Amino acid sequence: MSLRKASHLPQTELNPITVEIIGNNLASIADEILVGLIKSAFSTNIKERQDCSSVIMDAQGRVVSISDMSLPMHLSSFMFTGAAILDRFPEDDIHDGDVFIVNDPYSGGPSHLADVTFVAPVFHEGRLIAFVGNTGHWPDVGGKAPGQAALGDATEIYQEGLRIPPVRLHKRGRLQRDILNLTLLNVRDPDNRDGDIRAHVGSVKLGVRRMESLAAQYGGRLLSDALAQLLDVSELKARHGILSLAEGEYEALDHLDDDMDSDEPIPIKVKVTVRHKPEPSVTVDYAGTGGPARYGINMPYHGTVTIVFWVMRSILDPDLQPNAGFERAIKVLAPDNCLVNCQAPSPLGARYEVASQLPDSLFLALSEAVTEGIEAGGHGTHGMGFSAQPPNSFIYYETVGGGGGARPNKDGVNGVHITSNLPIEAMEQEFPMMADRLEYIPDSGGPGRFRGGLGVRKDWRMLVDSFVGVHSNRHRIPGPGLLNGADGSLTRIVRNPDSPSPETIPREATFVPVGPSDVVSIFAGGGGGYGNPLERDHRHVREDVVNGLVTVEAARRDYKVVIDPQTLEVDMDATQRLRRSPAA
């Protein structure tokens, strides 16, 4: 008998090697689901920016594996979805060929309405063995303004768009046209959303076929057992990683800029408790956090848990799956109806503003317990939406990168964000606008032994009468530096910045009118520095000056490194005197 034939024989016992092989198979299937969605989607937000993710869940709806290409935030799109489907549809009412759709955060769906999620069951020999799913950020799901589901000026979730609880879009393989028609009637640009829906459905059906093949290879019950053991593996790895952290309680405080109708910042307070006995565990407690916010910058609980999991994964073991096994070792507590655990009908379209700052406070707290896997505060997040009415109707949304926080052994990343950058060529081909400028902002990274990443300036020139919608943070409170590193720089958004009369655009706004030849510009902030700036190697400072990342003036002011503006060489004598001076 050949090895190939033997590998397809049903197995009766699991061993660690088989579990690992099945785990890698699941990761590959999740990747294929995601690539299938990206390759067939209509919206630039999915096909170009790749603001989408995929998942494999077990028959209980627990997350087992997500694609490594997935966005960290999208774990929240799947965390409660399987259980919500099973709660609404008993197992005997779930059938081969079903496809479910959901986007409501308060009904077991993703963390804001824009992330529309699709889930399909997998059967083997008539028994439910798993679910597969994907999620994608749609440019629009209705609401009071184009792209409102990702913007922050709503005062209740009903203003943010169509709310879809877990419902069946396909039943036993047949499209439920009433559900489809209801969805498309309530969104702008329904033709493109129809195309996205077909891409979502085709992608999960591909995942179903791949899982059916895997079940045929190993047997359904062995595969189910392997899914359960993969959860145990994540728990074991997480607890092992916790032992590398010093026991204790660690606290930090950050602030969201404001609630828009108030100048008062909203506190984000966190306490991290690390325990090694009776078994290694971490508890993350947000008692003392403010809110909820009046406007749409709130975060649901599962969004907060998602961020905590990804931060802890980066510290404990970047290779482990942040699945349902991981949450056995990491507990997250948050007061009801606060900024990080909002309740219906609180709006949450721009919830990523909070999500972008939660890692900063966690890293700040844990900087006393660990030096690996942490970084200083980042630039936040900046969503820019553009739209127009007929005859030039369009909807376009993108997020703009800024400076990442510096790390214990390297500088922060320049112009970084969690999604792919939309190529200018793709934007200009599809939408009536041009990109006049996309560049780093010199001196925007927080000084430190390791410098914060640089922020970005991007200019859009409008070609038709249009509207702008924005959500953005870190306009008043920059990303914090770590261990004597300086804070990063602030963000601002301006209409016609180089004109005699520039106008500041509020950080949360919709329907801001702009005309042909108007320029909308964002100056996205830089990340915080790590360590004392006077400890930065003078050669690295000179390199930054040569590359246009730091000016000669900032080199002297922030790093006490004297550089000749003509030759760009370091004056070592003057530098040593300046660094030894009492003022330094």
Helix boundaries (H) for 388-519: 424-430
Is 289 inside a domain boundary? no
Say how far apart CA 109 and CA 171 lie, in whole Å: 20
Q: Are residues 455 and 561 in the same domain?
A: no
Domain co-membership, 7 together with 150:
yes
Residue numbers of the chain with a pLDDT score lower than 50? 1-11
Count of other CB atoms within 10 angstroms of residue 402: 37
Based on the domain organization, do 508 and 543 belong to the same domain? no
How much is the pLDDT for 255? 97
In contact, 213 and 130? CB cutoff 8 Å = no
Single residue among 236, 262, 279 that ends a domain in this structure: 236
Model pLDDT, residue 518 = 97
Residue 349 within a domain: no
- Please tell me whether residues 523 and 548 are part of one structural domain: no
**Kind of pairing between the strands at 127-137 and 330-333:** unpaired
Q: What is the pLDDT of residue 422?
A: 84
Q: What is the pLDDT of residues 427-447, one digit of tens each?
A: 999 999 999 999 999 999 999
Domain assignment present for residue 104? The answer is yes
Tokens for 195, please give them.
């195309």
496: left (phi over 0), alpha (psi -120 to 50) or beta: left
For residue 455, the model assigns a pLDDT of 98
Does 557 share its domain with 489?
no
* Alpha-carbon torsion, ordered 522, 528, 529, 533, to 10 deg: 80
Evaluated on CA atoms 213, 219, 220, 226, the torsion sign reads negative
Cα–Cα nearest to 493, from 191, 152, 213, 241? 152
Angle (nearest 5°) at CA 486 between 482 and 491: 110
> Are 399 and 383 a contacting pair, CB within 8 Å?
yes
Residues 451 and 395 grouped into a single domain: yes
CB environment 436-474: b (16+ within 10 A), e (fewer): eeeebbbbbbbbbbbbbbbbbbbbbbbbbebbbbbbbbb
483 and 547 belong to one structural domain: no
Largest CA distance in the chain: 82
Instruction: Tell me the two tokens of residue 191.
Output: 């033709």
| Strand-by-strand arrangement of the 492-495 sheet | 433-440, 456-462, 519-523, 492-495, 503-504
Mark which of 497, 517, 536 sits at the end of a domain. Answer: 536
The number of CA neighbours under 13 Å toward the Cβ of 502 is: 15
Same domain flag for 453 and 556: no
Domain assignment present for 309 = no
304 and 327 Cβ atoms separated by less than 8 Å: no
Q: Which domain holds residue 73?
A: 3-236
441 and 550 share one domain: no
pLDDT value of residue 353:
96
pLDDT at 492: 98
CA separation (Å) from 362 to 53, 68, 355, 375, 453? 24, 23, 11, 10, 19
In a domain, 363, yes or no: no
In a domain? residue 265? no
Residue at a domain's end among 219, 236, 253? 236
Whether the Cβ atoms of residue 403 and residue 454 lie closer than 8 Å to each other: yes
Structure tokens at 363: 């890293």
Distance CA 94, CA 85 (A): 9
The dihedral region occupied by 423, where left means phi > 0, alpha psi between -120 and 50, and beta the remainder, is beta
What's the domain count of the chain?
3
CA atoms of 382 and 371, how far apart (whole Å): 28
pLDDT at 371: 81
Tell me the DSSP string of 201-268: HHHHHHHHHHHHHHHHHH-HHHHHHHHHHHHHHHHHHHHHHHTTSPSEEEEEEEEES--SSSSPPEEE
Looking at the fold, whether 383 and 409 belong to one and the same domain comes out as yes
The answer to whether residue 407 is domain-embedded is yes
CA 56, 62, 64, 68 torsion: positive or negative? positive
Which value, to the nearest 10 degrees, does the dihedral of the CA atoms of residues 281, 287, 288, 294 take? 120
Q: Are 412 and 494 in contact (CB under 8 A)?
A: no
Do the domain assignments include residue 215? yes
89 and 117 assigned to the same domain: yes
Q: Quick one: 544 exposed, middle or buried, by C-beta within 10 A (0-12, 13-18, 19+)?
A: buried
What is the structure's pLDDT at 584? 74
- Give phi and psi for 186, each to the nearest 5: -105, 10
Judgement on whether residues 525 and 584 belong to the same structural domain of the protein: no
Query: Taking a C-beta distance cutoff of 8 angstroms, is the pair 78, 55 a contact?
Result: yes
Residue 243's pLDDT is what?
95
- CA dihedral of residues 573, 578, 581, 584 (deg, nearest 10): -150
As a whole number of angstroms, the distance between CA 120 and CA 133 comes to: 6
